[in-house]
Structure 1
Amino acid sequence: MKEKEKRVLVGMSGGIDSSAVCILLQEQGYEVVGVTMRTWDVPSHFSTPGQEQPDDVLEAQRLAARLGIEHHVADVRKEFRQVIVQYFIDEYMRGRTPNPCVMCNPLFKERILCEWADRTNCAYIATGHYCRLEDRNGYRYIVTGDDSTKDQSYFLWKLPQAILRRMMFPLGGMTKASVRDYLASKGFEAKARGGESMEICFIDKDYREFLREHCPDIDERIGEGWFVDSKGIKLGKHKGFAYYTIGQRKGLEIALGKPAYVLKINPEKNTVMLGDAEQLRTRYMLVEDVNVADREELTACPDLSVRIRYRSRPISCRVLWLEDGRLLVKFAEEASAIAPGQSAVFYEGNRVLGGGFIASQQGIKKIAAEKEMLFQNSF
């Protein structure tokens, strides 16, 4: 290997996974360079009074010193607030449910890693995601990791080919338990016993409190609205549409004598439609902002499935491209709680073919009726 091709930039969070990545790559003969992004400070990130750097930065620095690797700190708090946190807020203000981790990977973390890799003369970038890579037909695909409980392929569908071709996922063939054992065997017993990080790194409380904190005028801008049923009949007052998500049952603070679920959110009218669980079920879904390596492969795939939220099981499906660039998805069985703003990620077995954001489902019954003939004998 040429000198540059021996250098790998690792995104170091100071946690279990990225620490294991650094050690594994060193053992494989790579020259590891670490960078830790300081994205968002919350009180729980600082364990001692007067501490200037958050715990994850200090942990990463200690590991880098122990391993003898070059380490950098990228203070990207301002940009993170402008790009990722603002997206998170804006989506709720549109009546949608955001996927901040999906947006963070292509728009922020991996992009910044690529910039730092260029700056530090590294050919590759590596992270602690539990997934793998596969080259096929001239494209590079993400494949689910061997540890199904930690698989993170769902969050990476938006990564472009240019970034995927530089990426390495050293933990894809390991389980979390084996990673802990590996760290302990290398003399990092305390690190191996460490806890897990938060799923949304910038929220350490209920997201509604976060919205109020960072949009102090949110209650004035939105205000109270009406819960309505599927016929538009008013059922009672709610606190504002941004505080609710599709499929939500708990915390509605309204008594209807039976379980009620959020069916639809209308930000223009500030209404939240409630109904029963059966009304959440559907055989169709619209998806927008689609990113796939091979469009024809997606429509022709005989073993296509889709996940509509993280941790959900894949549902067999078929897809059609609409004239406006959206995808019409037909499920082999009914799906529940289709939430605009969340990700729909398409798989062939364990291979990610691509994904998109769940779109507004307005008008879907008419669209599905018009296209149904094209789905005949599809299951």
Structure 2
Amino acid sequence: MVGVSGGVDSSVAAWLLAQAGEPLAGLFMQNWDDDGSGDCRAEEDRRDAVAVCGRIGIPFHFRDFSKEYWAGVFEHFLAEYAAGRTPNPDVLCNREVKFKHFLDAARALGAERIATGHYAQVARERGCWRLLRGADRDKDQSYFLHQLGQAQLAATLFPIGHLPKAQVRQIARDAGLPTHAKKDSTGICFIGERDFREFLGRYLPAQPGEIRDPRGVRVGEHPGVFYFTLGQREGLAIGGVRGRAAAPWYVVGKDVARNVLYVDQDRDSPWLLSSVLRSGPMHWVEGAPPASSFECTAQVRYRQHEEPCQVQVQDDGTLQVHFERPQRAATPGQSLVLYDGPACLGGAVIEATDAPTPAS
């Protein structure tokens, strides 16, 4: 059962499996109820998915997982923003919906395995399933898949994981797939192309408050601390401040309790840099850590190059990670993902860092 999203990647995944003679069908997941805004492309994507299945000549199925998405992903998303953290809903969507409810639905329809258009790879080595980076490093999505375990990987195929994006597009054109020129989707479906602040404000009414520099001096006013994340430059709307250079400002801290946003004019401000971070409970792809203390590489955000680090596994399953060089804007709520070469070892939520606290 191929998860057909209406995009070019899942379309080519289905095409390649069909060309290989695999018996297959497509299943489209609706994960968000239409809120009447017209900003979520679910209906357009569904039509495209139907057209792709028709072109390939495979059955099409539809399942509505919007209630499961709300309970398993969106409620957590809101709670994290309300706490002043920056969540990563794509990670939870993969764990709670695409590789849980979708997998269950596929099996109920008679499928033994599922396939998606993710840029990642699966390998069987030494009796274990391993999650590997996609061959196209710029499109690699293993970061978002780090919560998968042995059961999910044993039942999953990533048919385009060994291909560069340009070749995927070319295959789609050559095959006459109706999605071959479709623009890649970005962001989260339930937000779509709409204004993020307007959307979040529907669920988390925010109050304006002070913007201060790290020493506590007021330099402006914000519309709500929920709307900002560490390292962010856009949307601060800080005009010329007397006695300050005409340079960009960056978010370096948030105090939700006092409704204060802290900023600095140095992109690599010391208030943004951390060498040690503490995570929540770690999920290991192979079920256990390689050792209680080991060296590997890690990413603290998507599209970041992996950085060498020393990992200490704590007795409660959390991690303490020491980086060889300071990391910029490691953000509580985001994912710390560990790698051994191309293999994803697993990941956890960042809980805290040793970055200094503004105005403390």
Instruction: Identify the TM-score tier after normalising by the shorter chain.
Output: 0.7 to 0.9
SS in 1 for 2:280: strand
Alignment of 1:276-355 (within 5 A): 276=266, 277-279=268-270, 280-292=272-284, 293=286, 295-297=288-290, 299-302=292-295, 304-355=296-347
Task: State how 1:26-175 maps to structure 2 within 5 Å.
Answer: 26-40=18-32, 41=34, 43-45=38-40, 54-175=43-164
Q: Which has the higher helix share?
A: 1
- Counterpart-to-counterpart distance in 2, 1:235 and 1:23: 55
Structure 2's unaligned 5+ residue stretches are none
Q: Secondary structure at the match of 2:281?
A: strand
Q: Deviations over 1:250-290 (max 9, x none)?
A: 32233542443222222222222223432211211111131
Deviation at 1:323, TM superposition (A): 4.0
Deviation of 1:129 after TM superposition, in Å, equals 0.4
CA contact (8 A) 1:227 1:274 kept: yes
Task: Render the CA deviation track for 1:3-58: whole Å, top value 9, x for unaligned.
Answer: xxxxxx11011211111111111122211121101122351456xxxxxx701111
More relative contact order, 1 or 2 (CA 8 Å, 6+ apart): 2
Question: Is 1:10 aligned to 2:2, yes or no?
Answer: yes
Q: What is the Cα deviation at residue 364 of structure 1?
A: 7.5
Q: CA deviation at 1:299?
A: 4.9
Kept in 2: contact 1:45–1:56 (CA 8 A) = no
Give yes or no for the alignment of 1:191 onto 2:179: yes
Give distance in 2, aligned partners of 1:93 and 1:236. 22
Give yes or no for contact 1:39–1:75 (8 Å, CA) kept in 2.
yes
In structure 1, how many angstroms separate the alpha carbons of the residues matched to 2:292 and 2:238? 43
Quote the Cα distance in structure 1 between the aligned partners of 2:213 and 2:38. 41
Quick one: structure 1 residues 224 and 168, their matched pair in 2 at CA, closer, same or farther if it must change by over 3 Å? Answer: same
Is the Cα–Cα contact under 8 Å of residues 273 and 326 in structure 2 kept in the other structure?
A: yes
What is the alpha-carbon distance in structure 1 between the residues aligned to residue 16 and residue 165 of structure 2? Answer: 14
Distance 2:252 2:126 in 1: 41
Match of 1:192, SS state, is coil
The CA distance in 2 between the partners of 1:237 and 1:44, in whole Å, is 29
Number of matched residues? Answer: 343
| Cα RMSD, aligned residues only | 2.2
The TM-score normalised by the length of structure 2 is 0.88
Assess, with a 3 A threshold, how the Cα gap between structure 1 residues 106 and 298 changes in structure 2: closer, same or farther: farther
1:126-275 alignment runs, 5 A limit = 126-188=115-177, 190-203=178-191, 204-215=193-204, 218-219=205-206, 223-255=207-239, 256=241, 257-258=244-245, 259-275=248-264
Q: What is the TM-score when the length of structure 1 is the normalising length?
A: 0.84
1:326 Cα deviation from its structure 2 partner = 2.2
> Which stretch shifts more, 179-188 or 17-26?
179-188
CA contact (8 A) 1:298 1:319 kept: no
- What is the alpha-carbon distance in structure 2 between the residues aligned to residue 45 and residue 282 of structure 1? 37
Amino acid at match of 2:6: G
Unaligned runs of 5+ in 1: 1-8, 47-52, 366-379
CA drift of 1:360 comes to 2.8
289-298 or 116-125, which moves further after superposition?
Answer: 289-298
